[in-house]
Every structure is written in C-alpha cells, then in structure tokens.
Structure 1
Amino acid sequence: MPPSSRALVTGASAGIGLAYAERLARAGSDLVLVARRADRLDALARDLHDRHGTKAETLPADLSTPEGVAAVAARLAADPAIDLLVNNAGYAARGRVGELDPDALDHMLRVNVLALARLSHAAMAAMRPRGRGALINVASGTVFMQMPGNAGYGASKTFVMAFTRTLQAEAEGTGIRVQLLIPGVIATDFHAIAGNSLSNFPPERVMQADDLVAASLKALEMDEPVYIPSLPEVRDWEAYVAAERAVAAGASRDRPAARYGLPG
C-alpha cells in the first residue's frame, strides 16, 4: 500500500490484527484501529505514533452487536481516505453440535460472519465509486478440514471463503483488490482463548504473525487473490479450484446419476 493510505483494521488490539497495525504503521499508513477494549486501542495508538509517527484513530466497537457493526460501517462510508479494510476480527467457540452453548455459537457467528459481510459491503460501496481500494478477509485453514467440535467455527470461515471468492469475481474491473487470507496455526493468543494451546502443535506448523502479515501485504501487491501463507505450490490451490469446477459441472442435471440404478 502507498504511504499515504489509511487502513481500517478490525481486531487490531491483539494477534494478527495487531501485526497488521504494526506492519502498516511501519510502512507509513495512517490507521483506524477497531476492537472492543478502548484502553488497549488507546495504548496501541500511542505506541504506534511514538515509534512510527503514525496517525492512529481508535474506534472501540463490539462487532457482535448491530450498534458496533453500524459504527464501523459508518466510519468506512464517511472517510474517503480509507483504502484498505482488514476484516480480521473473529474467534472460535468450539464444541460439538448439540453440546456447544447456543449463545456462544450465536455470538461467534455474529462476529465471524455478519460483521465481516456488513463491513465488506460498506467498504465496497465506498470504494467502488472511487475506483480504488483493497479488502483483506481472514478465513482459516480449517475450511479444508472436518473436525468434531469445530462445525460452527469451521463453517463461519467457510462462509468467509465463499463470500470473498464471489466478491473477488464482482470486484473484477473495479480497481478494488480483494484478498482471501487462509492462515494455518499462528502464534497468537487465539488458541488459548479457544481452549487450546500452541504447545499442542509441532513447531514446524506454527507461523509468527508478523511473517504472515508481511507476506499478506506482499501478496496484495502481487495481486495474488488467495493467500495461503505456507502453501508451497500455488498449483495445489489451482487443483482444488479445478476439482470444484468438475463437481459443479455435474451438480445440476436432469436426472440422478446412473449409480443409483433408477429407471432412465
């Protein structure tokens, strides 16, 4: 991103969001920092200003509430200088279907799904008339897995993937770049909050947040729409997409497949 850009980062007070704030500030971007806790945001804004001279505005908002989402959406609509939205806010409430606290599931879906969709909508509506801008939507490597206890979280991030890929198709020719970020295990407090521990993962599977973000911004410059940080070969993703197309081609026909043995 150019030094004059202003980025709005959700979930900015910790983890991946904090790494985006740090990296963007280091590159000369001004920031709008969004998270629930005003005290953490204020401390971060002061620190970034002291170390990098960054103009960092804080916007405390609970993205599980309509009021919080509306406040951030209004900020995106009102400021023509915001040319990057990092939709990072999200968390995991894990438990088997029928056992997970339904209120916890509802709360998570409001943050991971509804807030991301609404803020993407607000950003696109603001950026499209200007013909420039970028969005980064953060999904999860669990979109490729079916793990018991992860149905709610995994599905929420599958929504992010599907929503963002279609958004990319809609953004073609508009001058707006849309990145789908699919991280694996990142060294943040995300796992502890979700009731897990980084110590349960082999060290070779755990990436540092700053490395993730540095490569994300490089991928954005390269116009690489789907960023899977440690995937060695892009052709593996291309094979995944090709397999989707093959399934899609047979998903809607005038009769059931022959293997079901029904009269033709």
Structure 2
Amino acid sequence: MTTSPSVAVITGASSGIGAVYAERFAARGYDLLLVARREDRLRELAAKLESLHGINVQTLTADLAKESGMQAVEEALRSNERISVLVNNAGVAHLAPFTAGSAELHQADIALNITALTRLSLAALTRFQAQNSGTIINIASVVSLHAIAGSAVYSGTKGYVLNFTRGLQQEIEGSNVRIQAVLPAVTATEIWEVSGVSMDHLAPESIMTTENMVDAALAGLDQGEAVTVPPLHDLALWEAYETARLAIFDASRTGVPAPRYQQ
C-alpha cells in the first residue's frame, strides 16, 4: 500500500519567505497547500514546484485579514488529515507613527498578524495533539524583543506571536508535536513595499536574503530549537537574555511590593 505524502500548509506563500518555505518543503517531499491573496502568483508557484519536485500542490486564495479567509483555511486544516505542517507566515507591517494610521488600518494589521495566526494554530493544533504529531512554525520578528518608534503596532503583534508560541510550547511539552517561533531581522521581502520604509534606507549589510532566512530557520527546527533567530551569531547573548527573562519572572513572585515602592 502506498502512503500519500504529508501536506505542509504555508500562508503568505505567494512571495518572499512563504514562497521559499514552499520550495524547501517541496524539496523535502511534502505536498503543499499554499495560501495567499494573489491567485495568479499562487498558481504560477504551484506549477513550478509540481514540475521541479513531482509533488501535488493545491492553492487556496484567501485574505486572512477577513473572516471569510480565516474560515476557509480553518476548514482546510480541520478536514485534511494529511496536513502535518502549518507555517504561519502571512503578515503585514505599517511602520509609521501610531497616530498617523487609522483605527481600520491597525485593526486589519492585528487581524492578520494575530487573529488569523491564533485561529489557524487552534485548528491545526487541535488535530496535531489528537494524533500526537505535527509541526507549527510561527514567523515572529526580532521586534518581538524590542520596539522602536513607528513600530508600535507591528512590534506589539509580533510580541504576541512570540509569547503565544511560548505558551503553546509549554502546553505540548513531552509530546511529538513541535512548535517553533522564528525571529527574522531585516529580510529582503515585499513587506517593505507596504511598510512605509524603503529598503533603500536600510544598511545593506543588515539585510538577509529570504533563502538564507528560511534555510537557517529550518536548520533551527531540525536542531530542535524552540526559538530561532537566524541572524544572531552570538548564542551567548540569547542565553543571557533567556536567563535574565526567567530570573525577572521568578523574582517577581514575592507577593510583596519592592522596597523602592514603599514609604
């Protein structure tokens, strides 16, 4: 009896990081379900990957900032038992002073970066836990760790992604389900076209290619990393950050105001 390949679902797959994830999982022998708003690009990528890797690629045109788009992908995740990987890559950035954006713009960013990612994770993880297998990759950002002027909403959404992922990792500990947070820094993608910041204004040496970013992230996944920061060379910095973060959390559980706050 021939066993059908597992399926990897990749959101925001029509270009950039998502398209590279699609190529890499195709090269690993996965069939694909590619999700994005731009149907023409999805179909072009699907045809290319089917030809190169001899896999089956399905496409789902969906706007994950909208209820109908979220529901369509949720249904696919719940109904296809062959799905074993979800890459929550779809996201958007508008980098400008908070008050320069409308409530509608901020709400759309939150819907895509937070709400869709949360709901798709729920749809996937419910089944992954039931079968005790599966992988979720959540694309966060180094601005999960540090916000700068103009990034309040974007940094806030990515901070959610990191902490949301950490919480899920605690819940699935000891199982065969894997959940990884990936924290890219500046990466050469089309997100800059809508962000309000031109890549021409960025230091060239700070920009990582999408291929290098995804390859590093997948290497981190294969090595069992819970959080992967592709451009961070000095691992001791991360270890010190983690140690300090946990120490602050533990030291805050005294139930007594610190002396500096007492008269």
- TM-score between the two structures when normalised by the length of structure 2: 0.94
The offset of 1:149, in angstroms, is 1.3
Q: Do 2:93 and 2:109's aligned partners in 1 also have CA atoms closer than 8 Å?
A: yes
Q: Which of structure 1's runs of 4+ aligned residues deviate more than 6 A?
A: none
The offset of 1:231, in angstroms, is 1.0
Instruction: Determine the structure 1 residue equivalent to 2:83.
Output: 82
Identity %: 39
Output aligned runs, 1:227-238, within 5 Å: 227-238=228-239
More displaced 10-residue stretch of structure 1: 250-259 or 54-63? 250-259
More displaced 10-residue stretch of structure 1: 232-241 or 145-154? 232-241
Q: Do 1:23 and 1:210's aligned partners in 2 also have CA atoms closer than 8 Å?
A: no
Instruction: Determine the structure 2 residue equivalent to 1:224.
Output: 225
Mark the runs of 5 or more structure 1 residues left unpaired by the alignment. Answer: none
Residue identity in the other structure for 1:256: P
Mark the runs of 5 or more structure 2 residues left unpaired by the alignment. Answer: none
Is 1:37 aligned to residue 38 of structure 2?
yes
Instruction: Determine the structure 1 residue equivalent to 2:107.
Output: 106
Residue identity in the other structure for 1:233: D
The offset of 1:99, in angstroms, is 2.6
More displaced 10-residue stretch of structure 1: 43-52 or 163-172? 43-52
SS at match of 1:186: coil
Instruction: Determine the structure 2 residue equivalent to 1:62.
Output: 63
Is 1:15 aligned to residue 12 of structure 2?
no
SS at match of 1:210: helix
Residue identity in the other structure for 1:165: R
Q: Do 2:96 and 2:196's aligned partners in 1 also have CA atoms closer than 8 Å?
A: no
Instruction: Determine the structure 1 residue equivalent to 2:172.
Output: 171
CA deviations over 1:8-27 (Å, ceiling 9, x no partner):
00000011001101111122
More displaced 10-residue stretch of structure 1: 3-12 or 203-212? 3-12
Q: In the aligned structure 2, how far is the partner of 1:219 from the partner of 1:96?
A: 34
Change (3 A) 1:107 1:254: same
SS at match of 1:230: coil
Instruction: Determine the structure 2 residue equivalent to 1:152.
Output: 153
Q: In the aligned structure 1, how far is the partner of 2:194 from the partner of 2:99?
A: 21
More displaced 10-residue stretch of structure 1: 96-105 or 246-255? 246-255
Q: In the aligned structure 1, how far is the partner of 2:98 from the partner of 2:196?
A: 17
The offset of 1:208, in angstroms, is 0.8
Q: In the aligned structure 2, how far is the partner of 1:146 from the partner of 1:213?
A: 23
Q: In the aligned structure 2, how far is the partner of 1:233 from the partner of 1:34?
A: 35
Instruction: Determine the structure 1 residue equivalent to 2:241.
Output: 240
Residue identity in the other structure for 2:74: A
More displaced 10-residue stretch of structure 1: 237-246 or 121-130? 237-246
The offset of 1:118, in angstroms, is 0.5
Q: In the aligned structure 1, how far is the partner of 2:25 from the partner of 2:147?
A: 34
CA deviations over 1:174-220 (Å, ceiling 9, x no partner):
20011100000111111122121222222221111111111212211
Instruction: Determine the structure 2 residue equivalent to 1:137.
Output: 138
CA RMSD in angstroms comes to 1.5
- TM-score between the two structures when normalised by the length of structure 1: 0.94
The offset of 1:106, in angstroms, is 0.4
The offset of 1:227, in angstroms, is 0.5
Instruction: Determine the structure 2 residue equivalent to 1:206.
Output: 207
CA deviations over 1:85-144 (Å, ceiling 9, x no partner):
000000102332333111110000000000001111111101111111101000011122
Q: Do 1:91 and 1:190's aligned partners in 2 also have CA atoms closer than 8 Å?
A: yes
SS at match of 1:147: coil
Residue identity in the other structure for 2:139: V
The offset of 1:76, in angstroms, is 0.7
Instruction: Determine the structure 1 residue equivalent to 2:198.
Output: 197
Aligned residues: 260
Instruction: Determine the structure 2 residue equivalent to 1:4.
Output: 5
